[in-house]
């Protein structure tokens, strides 16, 4: 039967519709999904064996939930997906402020309406998307914002005493009755405001300015918090923590492949960019490796975390850098280059918190160091190790390439060079193309020039070549000759 065609309380009763508290509703629908093998959290990657099972256990236990984790760990995203476990539509008394159940009204005004109109009481239907409320906790949030307060204007308009329940103006939480209510960054909420939540969480009722008022609210609470907030900005008061049924710890992706899947899913890339800018797989891996390097970098505050949003923004910037070059050169298609990674520096500097030594180094300098470290880490998967080789070693596979630069050759890699100029510059380095052909088998089509450029960067990172920053790119030369030139300038 299509319940949404029901328009009155009498019709609802005749249809034998039965209401379900929201926690039981979530539980019932989750059980149905688990039995059917349907995934509710299929857009959340990397949590399949950790966070998601804990969320499902919390729902089956009927708990309010607190997600505890560093920034960019999909805490709010998981909370928003809980909406999919709600019934598609539920009935409410038409015109009510509190989305009240026609079969179980809780406010005086709704009870009076039903007493007056009986089975003719109008009923409307609310879609599950309208049953999600979210509030960012900030120090200026008040009890009136969340719970409610006396409205003197309402009292004057209705000519009622301030002791009358009808003069109350309900806050966000009562208005989220029969819904999911999320409070983000809970520690930022002042302790006295957190205390105001005690009764709602434990007894399900509210207290407003001494009113003897019991509203058995039906709410699924979800909180998010960052562990760093406990020392920096505030804390969750102990009695409130005690009233939250399940505290679930989130985490960053454990491997690059999962991180790459998250970035690809979340990054905003236009259809025009997809058609005109080719992003080799190795470039996508390098994006993720930069984030992994950042989470272990001595210049970055590990307690603050490195959000997954850094990789997402970096991929968007990387594609934009390649697209800009394409537009400047009047081309129709281009492939991402390693030099384009200079374009992701703004995406990095805005996403990391530096320690004192990092501040001394400078945010841009730290960002470029992260790119270099990621290149060093990733190159070992494709070419022979570089960290333990010596220039005079006969077994050194890079001797011929290093000697080529030692003979006075140099290469300028320029950001705005056309694709043909870029490819020619790399192909002219014969020992470089020879090394790539020798060690990289079955390379992804279109990635060969990126990988050859990455090999030059890696040799420079391992102090086998000199890499000097130009106005728009880099110059690669022999390490020893650049050292002599530096001494001559001194």
The answer to whether residues 245 and 186 belong to one domain is yes
Tell me the Ramachandran region of residue 301: left when phi exceeds 0, alpha when psi lies from -120 to 50, beta otherwise: beta
CA distance linking residue 62 with residue 56, whole number of Å: 10
> Tell me, what CATH number does 71's domain have?
3.40.50.300
In the chain, the number of structural domains is 3
Q: Does residue 63 lie within any of the structural domains? A: yes
pLDDT at 489: 52
Q: Does residue 93 lie within any of the structural domains? A: yes
Which residue among 219, 249, 279 closes a domain? Answer: 249
The answer to whether residues 191 and 225 belong to one domain is yes
The answer to whether residues 361 and 438 belong to one domain is no
Q: Does residue 453 lie within any of the structural domains? A: yes
Question: Range of 429's domain?
Answer: 387-490
pLDDT at 65: 96
CA distance linking residue 470 with residue 489, whole number of Å: 17
Query: What are 364's two structure tokens?
Result: 């841009």
pLDDT at 206: 74
The answer to whether residues 26 and 120 belong to one domain is yes
> Tell me, what CATH number does 321's domain have?
1.10.8
The answer to whether residues 410 and 462 belong to one domain is yes
The answer to whether residues 344 and 400 belong to one domain is no
The answer to whether residues 189 and 316 belong to one domain is no
The beta strands (E) that lie in 123-267 are given as: 123-127, 132-136, 148-150, 168-170, 179-184, 219-225, 246-249
Contact criterion met (CB below 8 Å) for 8 and 119? yes
Which residue among 215, 249, 283 closes a domain? Answer: 249
pLDDT at 255: 92
Which residue among 379, 412, 430 closes a domain? Answer: 379
Q: Does residue 146 lie within any of the structural domains? A: no
3-class DSSP string for 332-396: CCEECCHHHHHHHHHHHHCCCCECHHHHHHCHHHHHHHHHHHHHHHHHCCCCCCCCCCCCCCCCC
The answer to whether residues 368 and 490 belong to one domain is no
With a CB cutoff of 8 Å and minimum separation 6, the contacts of 134 are 76, 79, 80, 181, 182, 184
The answer to whether residues 225 and 369 belong to one domain is no
Q: Does residue 151 lie within any of the structural domains? A: no
The answer to whether residues 234 and 277 belong to one domain is no
Single pTM value for the model? 0.87
CA distance linking residue 77 with residue 72, whole number of Å: 10
Q: Does residue 468 lie within any of the structural domains? A: yes
Please choose, from the candidates 420, 377, 421, 383, the residue with its C-alpha nearest in 3D space to the C-alpha of residue 401: 383
Laid out side by side, the sheet with 465-470 consists of: 411-414, 473-478, 465-470
pLDDT at 56: 97
What count of Cα atoms within 13 Å lies in the side-chain half-sphere of residue 123?
A: 26
Q: Does residue 165 lie within any of the structural domains? A: no
φ/ψ of 399, rounded to 5, equals: -55, -50
Q: Does residue 452 lie within any of the structural domains? A: yes
The answer to whether residues 113 and 262 belong to one domain is no
Strands 123-127 and 89-93: antiparallel
The pLDDT profile of the chain, 490 residues, written as one tens digit per residue, is: 577 889 999 999 999 999 999 999 999 999 999 999 999 999 999 999 999 999 999 999 999 999 999 989 999 999 999 999 999 999 999 988 899 999 999 888 899 899 999 999 999 999 999 999 999 998 888 888 888 887 777 667 766 666 666 777 788 998 999 999 999 999 888 888 898 888 788 776 677 766 667 788 899 999 999 887 554 566 888 899 999 999 999 999 999 999 999 999 999 999 999 999 999 999 999 999 999 999 999 999 988 889 999 999 999 999 999 999 999 999 999 999 999 999 999 999 989 999 999 999 999 999 999 999 999 999 989 998 886 666 566 678 898 999 999 898 999 999 899 999 999 999 999 999 999 999 988 878 789 999 999 999 999 999 889 999 888 899 999 987 655 555 445 5
pLDDT at 391: 58
The answer to whether residues 257 and 245 belong to one domain is no
């Amino acid at each position: 039967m299509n319940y949404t065609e029901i328009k009155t309380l009498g019709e609802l009763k005749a249809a034998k519709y039965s209401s379900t508290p929201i926690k039981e509703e979530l539980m019932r629908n989750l059980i149905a999904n688990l039995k059917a093998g349907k995934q509710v959290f299929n857009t959340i990657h990397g949590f399949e064996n950790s966070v998601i099972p804990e969320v499902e256990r919390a729902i089956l236990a009927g708990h309010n939930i607190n997600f505890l984790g560093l920034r960019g760990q999909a805490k709010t995203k998981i909370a928003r997906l809980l909406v999919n476990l709600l019934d598609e539509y539920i009935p409410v008394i038409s015109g009510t402020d509190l989305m009240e159940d026609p079969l179980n009204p809780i406010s005086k005004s709704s009870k009076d309406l039903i007493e007056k109109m009986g089975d003719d009481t109008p009923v409307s239907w609310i879609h599950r998307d309208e049953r999600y409320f979210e509030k960012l906790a900030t120090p200026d949030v008040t009890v009136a914002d969340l719970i409610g307060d006396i409205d003197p204007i309402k009292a004057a308009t209705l000519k009622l005493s301030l002791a009358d329940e009808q003069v109350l103006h309900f806050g966000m939480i009562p208005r989220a009755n029969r819904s999911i209510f999320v409070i983000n960054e809970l520690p930022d909420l002042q302790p006295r405001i957190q205390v105001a939540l005690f009764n709602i969480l434990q007894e399900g009722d509210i207290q407003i300015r001494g009113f003897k008022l019991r509203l058995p609210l039906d709410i699924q609470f979800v909180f998010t918090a960052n562990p760093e907030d406990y020392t920096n900005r505030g804390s969750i008061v102990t009695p409130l923590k005690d009233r939250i049924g399940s505290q679930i710890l989130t985490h960053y992706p454990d491997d690059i492949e999962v991180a790459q899947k998250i970035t690809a899913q979340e990054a905003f890339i236009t259809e025009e960019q997809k058609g005109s800018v080719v992003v080799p797989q190795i470039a996508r891996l390098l994006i993720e490796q930069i984030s992994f390097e950042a989470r272990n970098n001595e210049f970055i505050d590990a307690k603050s975390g490195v959000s997954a949003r850094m990789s997402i923004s970096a991929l968007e910037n990387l594609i934009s850098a390649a697209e800009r070059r394409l537009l400047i050169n009047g081309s129709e298609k281009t492939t991402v280059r390693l030099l384009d990674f200079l374009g992701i520096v703004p995406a990095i500097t805005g996403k990391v918190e530096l320690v004192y030594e990092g501040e001394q180094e400078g945010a841009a300098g730290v960002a470029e160091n992260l790119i270099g470290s990621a290149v060093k880490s990733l190159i070992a998967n494709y070419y022979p190790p570089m960290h333990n080789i010596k220039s005079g070693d006969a077994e050194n596979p890079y001797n011929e390439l290093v000697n080529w630069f030692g003979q006075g050759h140099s290469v300028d890699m320029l950001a705005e060079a056309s694709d043909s100029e870029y490819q020619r510059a790399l192909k002219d380095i014969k020992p470089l193309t020879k090394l790539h052909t020798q060690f990289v088998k079955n390379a992804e089509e279109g990635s060969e020039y990126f990988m050859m450029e990455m090999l030059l960067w890696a040799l420079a990172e391992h102090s086998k070549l000199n890499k000097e920053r130009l106005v728009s790119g880099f110059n690669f030369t022999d390490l020893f000759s650049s050292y002599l030139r530096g001494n001559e300038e001194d």
